[in-house]
Structure 1
Amino acid sequence: MKTVLITGANKSIGFETARQLLQQGYYVYLGCRDMQKGQQAVSQLQSAGLNQVEPIEIDVDDLDSIKAAREVLGQKTNVLDVLINNAGIIGSMQQTPLDTDISVFKQVFETNFFGVINVTQAFIDLLRLSPEPRIVNVTSGLGSLTLHSDPSWKYYQVKAACYVSSKAALNAYTIVLAYDLRDTAFKVNAVDPGYTATDFNNHTGPGTVPDAAARVVKAAVLGPDGLTGQFFSDDNAPETGISPW
């Protein structure tokens, strides 16, 4: 049975991603900052007959928490097949490049960028033991520099400085990580789940959580012939599914 760790998985897209992977036969380690909420999420899944799941306490903003989670997971399994870096924040809604305090930039980057790096580095040893390791970095279509430079793009006016910058940085990390692992069995990709109605955006997005999670799952279960080092986005590129960076 393949194993997967999903950060920020006790609600929304992360939770639905866990559900869909459980339905495909994966054993899910449901990453959460609050173990009580994590256990509640696990109980909800188990009540639906999805039993191969347990919570793992992990705060991606806290390196000690990440290291502790690695120790706990290492006691439960010798190998990790999939890492889904899903945890993320948007920060305050007013994010202009000249007026936003640097502390807001740092807060958003701590979760969306540095957190991903710390988690990936902490669990890479378990991933290397998988015959088909997969890393999925949940990004945003707003991380595309190419599209942000195109006045005809439908989201051109959405220039949330902290969030956009953090996701562009995450995309860049995905590229260099995939390159570093290019001669291995790893598949490393960034996935845009789309503008989805969640607590993240006060449920203003037109997309559904199941559809968003399905996009993440698709990258998590890629076969040996699957692509690596890509920016998957059905929203930005409905014909090809691959967004410009």
Structure 2
Amino acid sequence: MRNISEARPLRGKVALVTGGARGLGLETSRQLARKGAHVMIAARDISRAEAAAESLLSEGLHVSTLRLEVTSVADHQTAYAAIERLHERLDILVNNAGILVDGGAGALAPDQPPSDAHPRTVRDIVDVNFFAPVLLTQTLLPLIKRSEAGRIVNVSSIRGSLSHMSDASSPIYRNRTLGYNASKAALNAFTILLAEELRDTAIKVNAIHPGWLRTDMGGKEADMSVEEGAEIAVHYASLPEDGPSGGFFFGEDRLPW
């Protein structure tokens, strides 16, 4: 991964980070706020979101909380109403919330082959990792269109790359988690199609692979810190006018679909 370059400051920008109360979401919220954004920490557990916000407020950062169950269409509408009432627009949306429940943590290969994947498990993962960010983005897009330069960052994974899934030399080749891989591949497709739809606007839409991170999901053996992963998310949330859109990135490296 090449080092990511300095992006634009975010003073006065309004950002929403889903799954923002812990792990990558919390650190992304922190780094966005340090760049000057007002960050809404969205999480289904409001008490956890409030605890996270309190820690960032103690650092002098501008944050607030929003209860958001990402699979709830009613919560999407409530979020829209709250953002419109308080801020009138949304400059940055980081679709970070996600689950991995059909395999081992991090880079560990699952014991269950795709042919034995349980349909309920696959549906649950796709609901959270794909349908939730799609429906939330659709709901909030009118607010993003009010921004001078809206940014949408979809937190994907290299495990959503069809090229890597089919390449025996890839480090993720043995990760055959059907639900997770398929959900991230679908999220990548949404990224491409939405970016193409918005190509004549000031909105930029990108998918990122934040790396294998030392989080509850990634496990203790992961090779990157949560701070390093958040730097990637923040970079694409703060792209300048001439930045890319419709890409899939790890740092500044463009990944194959």
TM category (shorter chain) comes to over 0.9
1:12 matched to which residue of 2? 23
Aligned to 2:194: 177
Aligned residue in 2 for 1:192: 209
Question: Residue type matched to 1:105 in 2?
Answer: V
Deviation at 1:72, TM superposition (A): 1.6
Which letter maps to 1:172?
A: A
| SS of equivalent to 2:42 | strand
The answer on whether the counterparts of 2:83 and 2:89 sit within 8 Å (CA) in structure 1 is no
Q: Which residue of 220, 245, 253 maps to 1:241?
A: 253
Report the equivalent of 1:46.
57
Task: Give the TM-score normalised by structure 1.
Answer: 0.95
Secondary structure of 1:16's aligned partner = helix
- 8 Å CA contact 1:56–1:73 kept in 2: the answer is no
**TM-aligned CA deviation for residue 92 of structure 1:** 3.0
Which residue is 2:71 aligned to? 61
Which 4+ stretches in 1 moved above 3 angstroms?
A: none
One-letter code aligned to 1:208? S
- Number of the residue aligned with 1:237: none
Q: In the alignment, is the contact (CA less than 8 A) between 2:205 and 2:246 conserved in 1?
A: yes
Q: 1:77 aligns with which of 87, 102, 112?
A: 87
What does residue 99 of structure 2 align with?
Answer: 89
* Residue 202 of structure 1: how far off its partner (Å): 2.8
**What code does the residue aligned with 1:23 have?**
R
CA deviation string 1:34-59 (max 9, x = no partner): 11111000001011221x11001111
Displacement after TM superposition at 1:233 (Å): 1.4
* Superposed CA offset, 1:137-178 (max 9, x none): 000011110111111112211111110010001001100010
* Residue 133 of structure 2 corresponds to residue 98 of structure 1: no
What are the ranges of 5 or more consecutive residues in structure 1 without an aligned counterpart? 235-239
Q: Matched residues in 2 for 1:160 and 1:110: separation? A: 15
SS in structure 2 at match of 1:201: coil
2:106 — aligned with what?
none
RMSD of Structure 2 on Structure 1 (CA): 1.1
Asked if 1 retains the 8 angstrom alpha-carbon contact of 2:16 and 2:40, the reply is yes
Identity %: 38
The one-letter amino acid of 1:123's match is L
For 1:2, which of 6, 13, 29 is the aligned residue? Answer: 13
Could you report, residue by residue, the CA deviation over 1:109-159 in whole angstroms, capped at 9, with x for unpaired residues?
Answer: 000000011110110010000010000000001111011111111221111
User: Which amino acid in structure 1 is aligned with residue 113 of structure 2?
Assistant: T
Give secondary structure in 2 for the equivalent of 1:223.
coil
1:217 aligns to 2:234 (yes or no): yes
Q: What is aligned with 1:229?
A: 246
Aligned residues of 2:155 and 2:209 also touching (Cα < 8 A):
yes
Counterparts of 1:15-34 in structure 2, within 5 Å, are 15-34=26-45
Q: Is the 8 A contact 1:90 1:108 kept in 2?
A: yes
Within a 5 Å distance, the mapping from 1:103-142 to structure 2 comes to 103-142=120-159
Residue 208 in 1 paired to residue 225 in 2?
Answer: yes
Q: What is the CA–CA distance in structure 2 between the aligned matches of 1:233 and 1:177, rounded to whole Å?
A: 20
Task: Output the CA distance in 2 between the equivalents of 1:111 and 1:203.
Answer: 24
Which digits, 9 at most, give the CA deviation of each residue in 1:71-97, with x for residues without a partner?
A: 122211111101100000012324532
Deviation, 1:188, is: 0.3
Aligned residues: 239
**Which residue identity is paired with 2:255?**
S
